[in-house]
Structure 1
């Protein structure tokens, strides 16, 4: 019987240099996942891209939170003072997914806010090939933009924690 590795012990990056390194790793992750999203969007099966995006995006948010040490479990392990700073900073930067348990419903709500993506994708699929390419491009841009916004929100929260004195190197 194998033991499951507890990966929730990643610490908040302890310096600006660490934060920048994590930010770059996460931005690469966003680009890779956006490419997968775009590939799925190019497949002319209505609805497949939305289901795929829900799953991909939920995993992406979890992975980014984990990299920054900002999952719900990681924040709960912080001293109360730092926990409060983390949640206040997340609210202050509009990081609605920082430190949250990411569910499909939350991701669906976020993707609905970028409604342009769904409308353009579905309309694009009515035109063979060119529509699929347009749909893939829109998917890549929308997925990337939302992913980058979350990376930046996490970086700002981590910076607030470093400024407050949580500074613990990775």
Structure 2
């Protein structure tokens, strides 16, 4: 026993012994906490404070009502107000309790001549027609959305109210 805590010693042939500890002291507040993952360094309270701090550092913008939203550092997406209200009713919370972030989308990646580098000889030069067609196609790709949404870097707050029953 150390500090009135039972210690179970297990030989560790390789790796850091810290990766096998079930409890650790929080790097922020020093309080002992149970580790759920080997890489955890903060207790639950300090981890939550860090997430909230990171969220509050994001630029605050007004939501346009159309762009999808996502809960910060999560994969819960909302595509309209009805989705948000339904989620809040199921979770028994208010929209103002959610840390919502405006989503961004990605475009399809451009194609360059390196795409064919393994299929041509070193001295190969593309024809002017191929250069023009590839430029035209890349311009098309630049405008084409993948319709895949990602967490953006702008937060929003909503004035919606969900009646609690």
The one of the two structures with greater contact order (alpha-carbon pairs below 8 A, sep at least 6) is 1
TM-score w.r.t. length of structure 1:
0.23
Which structure has more helix as a fraction of its residues?
1
Whose radius of gyration is greater, 1 or 2?
2
Q: Which has the higher strand share?
A: 2
